[in-house]
Amino acid sequence: MKSIGVHLMWDIHKVESDIISYEKDIAPVMEHIISLTTLSIENYSSKQFEPVGVTSIYLLSESHLSIHTWPEHGYLAIDLFSCVPIESDKITEYLKTLYQSEDVKMTQVMRGKSREMDTK
């Protein structure tokens, strides 16, 4: 069965809170993730929570990249949805190294799968 795109999701636990608390530290991470792909940035929006925590999203020509952080739990969630193939291993290794965590789980879902698409 064909799919329309791939949805990659990373759950990262046991992260030092000070490196995921503020937007100024999150934006460069997201930009580096995008640089590991062939994706194109269209727009960016971010919400800094008080006292800490961030939700940021990049609108991409090929879909989106979002991140949500919970510094008080040492946890962040990253979603990348794309209609073009992504080398997820490079991104996963980057995140493990950056956050010095072995508790990084990546889930991949092929979106829009349909038997009807195979006949067109």
Q: How far apart are CA 88 and CA 8, in angstroms?
A: 8
- Catalytic center residues: 63, 68, 83
Residue 108: which residues within 8 A CB-CB, separation 6 or more?
Answer: 6, 7, 8, 9, 88
